[in-house]
Amino acid sequence: MPGTLEAIHVFRERRGPPILLPEAVFVAGRGVPTDQRDRPGVPRPVSAIRAETIDHVARALGVAIAPGSSRRNLTIRDMDLDTLPRGTVLSIGEARFEVIAPCDACVRMESALGPGAPAHMQGRGGIALTIVQGGRVACGDAVEVAALGTAPLYDPRERPRGR
């Protein structure tokens, strides 16, 4: 069963406010259009998080949390992103994205979402993606696994980022 793209957010500057886009045209090898990471050679150009993770943190902290507050570009519902292997290709609208790494919950989540948020996000901070095929993507588009990768998402040899 496919997931659904609930939101596309860009951050025009580092630590800047989230800006919700109803749609975007993605370009292979770059980041989200108009995002501060939209340039060639950025190691983690696009990030995604499960909408259910945001819901979980909101319930645990007893607060309302807007999807853009997670600092992730894409918010996806009904797909367990945190268990997808590296190399998995996701189809969203006309574009294709490859899973390249986990996005660990960092200390910024404490100020962005609320005290204690990083603890509630352990193992479900989302994923980093590259754009392997460009195209138009819109909120409400289906998110499907086009090809399943084979490498584990979490590599024990890597140091968690953002800590």
Half-sphere exposure of 26 (CA within 13 A, CB side): 33
Q: Is 154 inside any structural domain? A: no
Residue that the structure tokens 């986990």 belong to: 102
CATH of the domain at 128: 2.40.33.20
Asked whether the beta carbons of 10 and 32 are under 8 A apart, the reply is: yes
What pLDDT is stored for residue 163 in this prediction? 40
Asked whether residue 161 is domain-assigned, the answer is: no
Q: Give the Cβ contact number of residue 31 at 10 Å.
A: 23
How many domains is the chain partitioned into structurally? 1
Parent domain of 107? 3-147
* 81 in a structural domain: yes
pLDDT averaged over consecutive 10-residue blocks of the chain (163 residues)?
A: 93 83 92 81 88 89 83 94 95 97 75 70 86 97 96 69 47
Evaluate whether residue 152 is within a structural domain: no
pTM of structure: 0.88
- Contact between 31 and 104 under an 8 Å Cβ cutoff? The reply is no
